[in-house]
């Protein structure tokens, strides 16, 4: 039987009451370390993580996390210290991250697409004390790229340019001089007792920060959204309840762990419900198909491009995908045809869409099971419990249903602020607690939100947020570029990609291929413009602002 969406009066603010059975996470667990302990007790022998031939139970996962927490403490990590992790989706990511948080640290995940200078900026800005880093990933040595980016400085630690970074732990069996291997790091924790680890984790207050998610903005520099343990637990208990995640589910986590969608809607949600995590480090549709069949995957969240690739793969019918029952998507426009095909061709019982941003713990609205395909495809659903969503005009006044305006959010999940950045925090959050998202959207009379544009000019490349201001700042460092503007343009595979309009310095012979090749060395791949058009000058208004709308219309 189809659930009928609850209709709200034709007002300007959509609200969902907080009194729901799902909204209990912050009360039941209190902190992420307590969640890990509870999962180890409750789901003990159930499979927790599958990574190739390695299979560990929830009890074993709990033991590994405690050992990692002891190692963090032995390394000098104190409550409130920032601990960063720069690695792909692996069991070691799960253990090291949860271990750091269990030692009272604030987790700072780094985007695996970052180049050395981008990672170094976040490490410096957060003053991370300890870094977990992968060895070589996709042919790139992360350690070498960091060394190049931080070779100059007065620091006495492993990286001179990062004086606050005391230790770097390489998640492999080999590590350069002044760095530690994962094995040696864990061995160091043997001097810390289980009682000491328990006392440290038990002292963590639910209102303490659990992580800092760095997100780029229109200023061109990443800003760190500070989220607490209580916010994380409450949000993803709600997410798990609305999605229908349940004990025994087998969850293929393709969404990167450095992103809220992978870490919290993945790892944290599985810990809450006793689902099995199957991390996949790189999106490859052949590997996805093989994993779904071999591991009887039942849950597959991800951007629409993931599911479209699955449906269109020529060898799809050679794999048994019958266990799939739940898909949650978002981050881009979701074609109605995609929703219909997932339901009809793969017979997936629940297909949902959602909307969120790092500053609101990654989730704001979500469809409900039983919503019509048109609602799922055309909207991002309704506000999650305990949340208000409002659409306002340029002066901040609420607009009626059907009228586009800036989306504002207020509720339990709104960040406490940007890390040590009161000015940007003041710009983002109003005195009465409304978060300005910078997104343009429309609410219908049932409270469903449809995102239509981005005030901040952000575009989404295959599920990754790309910010023109940041890309422009990097492109402007090229010696032959005098001026540049970047806009998002449609792409059949990735949804959107960047296009750069560049002005060359007089006498320069720089080509589009040259600038794209240079960009690939200087920035994460999803930020690299796929097209470059050289122009004599950029269109600007009377105040000197580039007319992006005019560039898009070309």
**What's the pLDDT at 138?**
85
**What's the pLDDT at 1?**
32
**What's the pLDDT at 19?**
44
| Whole-angstrom distance, CA of residue 27 vs CA of residue 539 | 54
Query: Are residues 104 and 200 in contact, defined by beta-carbon separation less than 8 angstroms?
Result: yes
**Strands 276-279 and 326-330, bridge-based pairing:** unpaired
**What's the pLDDT at 295?**
98
Closest CA to 405 of 372, 451, 469: 451
Query: Are residues 283 and 307 in contact, defined by beta-carbon separation less than 8 angstroms?
Result: no
**What's the pLDDT at 333?**
66
CATH 3.40.50.980 for domain 32-204, yes or no, is yes
């002292």: which residue's tokens? 203
Closest CA to 271 of 511, 86, 446, 36: 36
Beta bridge partners of 450: 442
Query: Are residues 476 and 501 in contact, defined by beta-carbon separation less than 8 angstroms?
Result: no
Tokens of 400: 């009626």
Using N-to-C axis directions, what is the helix angle for 116-126 and 142-149, rounded to 10°? 70
Query: Are residues 161 and 151 in contact, defined by beta-carbon separation less than 8 angstroms?
Result: yes
| Whole-angstrom distance, CA of residue 436 vs CA of residue 13 | 14
**Strands 387-392 and 459-461, bridge-based pairing:** unpaired
Its pTM stands at 0.86
**Strands 167-170 and 180-181, bridge-based pairing:** parallel
Neighbours of 2 (CB within 10 A): 8
- Give SS3 for 374: helix
CA distances from 99 to 94, 402, 406, 538 (A): 8, 47, 39, 50
Fold of the 459-553 domain: GMP Synthetase; Chain A, domain 3 (3.30.300)
Using N-to-C axis directions, what is the helix angle for 91-102 and 32-42, rounded to 10°? 120
Query: Are residues 490 and 301 in contact, defined by beta-carbon separation less than 8 angstroms?
Result: no
Tokens of 308: 């479209």
From first to last of its 554 residues, what are the pLDDT tens digits of the chain? 333 333 333 345 777 765 443 444 445 789 999 999 999 999 999 999 999 999 999 999 999 999 999 999 999 999 999 999 999 999 999 999 999 999 999 999 999 988 999 999 999 999 999 999 998 888 889 999 999 999 887 777 899 999 999 999 999 988 888 899 999 999 999 999 999 999 999 999 999 999 999 986 545 688 999 999 999 999 999 999 999 999 999 999 999 999 999 999 999 999 999 999 999 999 899 999 999 999 999 999 998 888 989 999 999 999 999 999 999 987 666 778 889 999 999 999 999 999 999 999 999 999 998 899 999 988 999 999 999 999 999 888 999 999 989 999 999 999 999 999 999 999 999 999 999 999 888 999 999 999 877 777 888 899 888 888 789 888 988 999 988 999 999 998 898 999 999 999 889 999 999 999 999 999 999 999 999 999 999 998 654 678 888 898 88
**What's the pLDDT at 2?**
34
**What's the pLDDT at 546?**
83
**What's the pLDDT at 275?**
98
Chain-centroid distance of CA 96 in Å reads 18
| Whole-angstrom distance, CA of residue 309 vs CA of residue 547 | 35
């762990």: which residue's tokens? 257
Beta bridge partners of 485: 501
Query: Are residues 49 and 265 in contact, defined by beta-carbon separation less than 8 angstroms?
Result: no
Beta bridge partners of 510: none
Tokens of 405: 């305006």
Domain boundaries for CATH 3.30.300.30 within the chain:
459-553
Query: Are residues 141 and 149 in contact, defined by beta-carbon separation less than 8 angstroms?
Result: no
Architecture of the domain spanning 14-22+226-454: 3-Layer(aba) Sandwich (3.40)
Domain boundaries for CATH 3.40.50.12780 within the chain:
14-22+226-454
**CB contact set of 41 (below 8 Å; sequence gap of 6+):** none
| Whole-angstrom distance, CA of residue 165 vs CA of residue 81 | 11
**What's the pLDDT at 190?**
96
| Whole-angstrom distance, CA of residue 40 vs CA of residue 55 | 15
| Whole-angstrom distance, CA of residue 307 vs CA of residue 341 | 10
Domain boundaries for CATH 3.40.50.980 within the chain:
32-204
**What's the pLDDT at 18?**
54
- Give SS3 for 350: strand
Query: Are residues 368 and 435 in contact, defined by beta-carbon separation less than 8 angstroms?
Result: no
What's the pLDDT tens digit per position in 367-413? Answer: 998 899 999 988 999 999 999 999 999 888 999 999 989 999 999 99
Tokens of 164: 């606050």
DSSP assignments along 516-537, one per residue:
HHHHHHHS-GGGS-SEEEE-SS
- Give SS3 for 200: helix
**What's the pLDDT at 314?**
93
Tokens of 45: 């022998």
């Amino acid at each position: 039987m189809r659930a009928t969406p609850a209709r709200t009066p034709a007002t300007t603010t959509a609200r969902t009451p907080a009194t729901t059975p799902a909204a209990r996470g912050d009360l039941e667990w209190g902190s992420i370390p307590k969640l890990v302990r509870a999962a180890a007790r409750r789901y003990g022998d159930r499979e927790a993580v599958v990574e190739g031939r390695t299979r560990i139970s929830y009890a074993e996962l709990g033991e590994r996390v405690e050992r990692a927490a002891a190692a963090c403490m032995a390394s000098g990590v104190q409550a409130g210290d920032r601990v960063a992790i720069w690695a792909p989706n692996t069991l070691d990511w799960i253990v090291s991250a949860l271990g750091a948080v269990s030692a009272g640290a604030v987790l700072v995940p780094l985007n695996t697409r970052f180049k050395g200078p981008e990672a170094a900026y976040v490490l410096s800005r957060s003053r991370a004390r300890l870094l977990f880093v992968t060895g070589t990933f996709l042919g790139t040595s992360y350690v070498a790229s960091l060394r190049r980016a931080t070779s100059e400085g007065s620091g006495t630690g492993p990286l001179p340019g990062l004086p606050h970074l005391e230790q770097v732990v390489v998640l492999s069996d080999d590590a350069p001089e002044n760095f530690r291997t994962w094995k040696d790091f864990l061995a160091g924790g043997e001097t810390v007792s289980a009682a000491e680890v328990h006392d440290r984790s038990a002292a963590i207050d639910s209102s303490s920060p659990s992580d800092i998610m760095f997100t780029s903005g229109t200023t061109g520099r990443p800003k760190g959204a500070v989220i607490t343990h209580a916010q994380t637990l409450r949000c993803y208990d709600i997410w798990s309840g609305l999605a229908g995640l349940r004990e025994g589910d087998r969850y293929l986590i393709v969404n990167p762990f450095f992103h809220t969608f992978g870490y919290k809607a993945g790892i944290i949600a599985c810990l809450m419900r006793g689902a099995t995590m199957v991390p996949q480090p790189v999106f490859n549709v052949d590997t996805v198909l093989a994993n779904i069949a071999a591991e009887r995957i039942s849950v597959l969240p991800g951007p629409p491009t993931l599911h479209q690739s699955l449906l269109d793969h020529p060898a799809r019918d050679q794999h048994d995908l019958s266990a799939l029952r739940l898909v949650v998507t978002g981050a881009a426009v979701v074609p109605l045809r995609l929703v219909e095909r997932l339901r009809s061709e793969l017979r997936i019982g629940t297909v949902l869409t959602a909307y969120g941003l790092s500053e609101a713990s990654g989730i704001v609205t979500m469809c409900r099971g039983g919503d019509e395909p048109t609602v799922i495809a055309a909207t991002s659903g309704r506000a999650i419990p305990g949340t208000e969503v409002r659409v306002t005009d340029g002066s901040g006044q609420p607009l009626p249903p059907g009228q586009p305006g800036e989306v504002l959010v207020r509720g339990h999940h709104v960040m406490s602020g940007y890390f040590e950045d009161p000015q940007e925090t003041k710009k983002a959050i109003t005195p009465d607690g409304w978060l300005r998202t910078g997104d343009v959207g429309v609410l219908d009379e049932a409270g469903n939100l449809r995102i239509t544009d981005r005030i901040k000019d952000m575009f989404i490349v295959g599920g990754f947020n790309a910010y023109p201001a940041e890309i422009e700042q990097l492109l402007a460092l090229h010696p032959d570029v005098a001026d540049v503007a970047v806009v998002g343009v449609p792409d059949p595979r990735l949804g959107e990609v960047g296009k750069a309009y560049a002005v060359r310095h007089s006498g320069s012979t720089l080509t589009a291929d040259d600038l794209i090749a240079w960009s690939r060395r200087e920035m994460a791949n999803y930020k690299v413009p796929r097209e470059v058009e050289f122009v004599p000058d950029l269109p600007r208004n009377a105040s000197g602002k580039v007319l992006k709308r005019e560039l898009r219309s070309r």
